[in-house]
Amino acid sequence: MVNDRLWWEREDLCYREGRLHFGGHDLASFVTEEGTPKFVYRAARVRDNLERLRAALASQGVEHDAFYAIKANRHEPLVAYLKLLGRCGIDACSPGEIRHARQAGFEESEISYTGTSVSESDLDCLERHPGVHINCDSLSMIRRLGRRCPGRRIGIRVNTGLGAGYNDKLRYAGHKATKFGIYRDRFEEAIATAREADLRVETLHFHVGSGYLGDALDALEQVLERIGALLDTHPEIRRLNIGGGIGVRLVESDVAIDLDRWAALIARHMSRRGVRVQVEPGDYLIKDAGVLLVCVNTVEDKGGTRFVGVDAGFNIQNLAAHYQTPFIVAPLRRVGGAALERVTIAGNINEALDLLAEDVELPALAEGDLLALLNVGGYGAASSSNHCMRGEFREYLLLDEG
Ligand SMILES: Cc1ncc(COP(=O)(O)O)c(C=O)c1O
């Protein structure tokens, strides 16, 4: 049994008698029936994450609406759970996501659409759903939407030139031009284009990137200042959508975001302007509410590195391989006092980048051991592929608790 808690343990995700429990369940019990790889999500954690965020905004008096960014995880039972919970709408970025949200029971009025490189067939879908709110990401989209839907109320996605996220690859604005949103130098042109196209701009939208933490609040403040200046020149715009992107601690040294400070910043810049705020969290709601169970099949030293091979690969959870954001690896059984060794966890895809965790310290592992990868609820199943025809996995939503 391990006496000292690991830094990431929390009440609903911790070792009890040396066995990893999630929401009161021994995670090993989920493996026996169907095997691995298997994602397990905990609905109550998603709810708590959403409520924490909303409570922070409410405590600062920020009038707001929340939209879950369904791109992070579209598992049908999860989306249905959120509909029944009734505390958020859906942020969609494609016709498929609009249909998926509608099938789970979300009304058009509960859906906000913000897409990029929007095609004519995407616009066909938006035209068929007049109650869906649309944030336009380009002048081209404004022009083409206006031809189809004169009189519609829209939002404009703005790129303020400042981004934030876990690392450079996950910042959606910065020194290098990105494809997202309309830059400030063309903002007035976008407003004029909307006016000519008989579209009414009622929302501004921005999204700084994915995974910003406590140390990014200064950058967020600068973004809000720039957005505030745009709002001052257009007092008819009454809503600001601040996108998603809030991150969770991935390593012990990460600085957690202080949601009270975050909300106070938003209040300081928006409440005095009387602007209603919208948020689109994806990963923040689901990331730490999901684990991926895998089984060790190979333990072998190669070239001085101990590789631990498992039965899932970067095709099922690609964040570490594509964005170098680390997963936490937790053996489902952990015996107290066991010596630690440095290992690299390798997936089962024939690509050199298929390493799920590099040079991590774990108790000695053996073939047949079960592991959980933590902080994998978002952008795992939703962005998985059938690379090497190893696209099979199972998903399970834990609902049976308070
Ligand atoms: C416009 C927009 N909103 C919200 C999100 C959700 O971001 P996250 O899952 O990091 O919260 C994204 C992610 O790409 C996005 O592009």
pLDDT of 1 reads 44
> Do residues 293 and 331 touch, judged by C-beta distance below 8 A?
no
Specify the domain boundaries for CATH 2.40.37.10 within the chain. 13-42+288-398
Q: Which residue has the CA at smallest separation from atom 5 of ligand 1?
A: 244
Ranking 149-158, 174-183, 271-280 by mean pLDDT, the lowest is 174-183
Between CA 291 and CA 12 the distance in angstroms is 12
Specify the domain boundaries for CATH 3.20.20.10 within the chain. 44-286
Q: Tell whether the model's pLDDT for residue 401 goes beyond 70.
A: no
User: Token pair for residue 199?
Assistant: 């579209």
Peptide bond just before 37 cis, omega within 30 deg: yes
Between CA 100 and CA 72 the distance in angstroms is 13
Pocket test for ligand 1, best of 73, 118, 207 (most atoms within 8 A of CB): 207
Q: Compute the distance from residue 57 Cα to the ligand 1 centre, in Å.
A: 19
Q: In 199-309, where does DSSP find H-type helix?
A: 217-233, 259-270, 283-286
Q: Tell whether the model's pLDDT for residue 40 goes beyond 50.
A: yes
Between CA 188 and CA 79 the distance in angstroms is 37
Domain at 13-42+288-398, CATH class: mainly beta
Q: Tell whether the model's pLDDT for residue 402 goes beyond 50.
A: no
Pocket test for ligand 1, best of 65, 93, 322 (most atoms within 8 A of CB): 93
- State the pLDDT confidence band at 177, using cuts at 50, 70 and 90: confident
Between CA 60 and CA 264 the distance in angstroms is 6
- pLDDT tens digit sequence for 325-366: 999 999 999 988 889 999 999 999 999 999 999 999 999 999
- pLDDT tens digit sequence for 305-328: 999 999 999 999 999 999 999 999
Which residue(s) pair with 16 in the sheet?
A: 19
| Mean pLDDT, all residues of the chain | 95
Ranking 174-183, 261-270, 284-293 by mean pLDDT, the lowest is 174-183
**18 exposure class (CB count in 10 Å sphere: 0-12, 13-18, 19+):** middle
Q: Atom of ligand 1 at shortest distance to CA of 157?
A: 1
- Ligand 1 is surrounded, with C-beta below 6 A, by 69, 72, 91, 114, 207, 210, 243-245, 280-284, 378
Q: Compute the distance from residue 93 Cα to the ligand 1 centre, in Å.
A: 9
- CATH number for the domain formed by residue range(s) 44-286: 3.20.20.10
Q: Atom of ligand 1 at shortest distance to CA of 135?
A: 1
Distance from the first to the final alpha carbon of the chain: 27
Q: Tell whether the model's pLDDT for residue 218 goes beyond 50.
A: yes
**Mean per-residue pLDDT for 224-240?**
96
Q: Compute the distance from residue 39 Cα to the ligand 1 centre, in Å.
A: 21
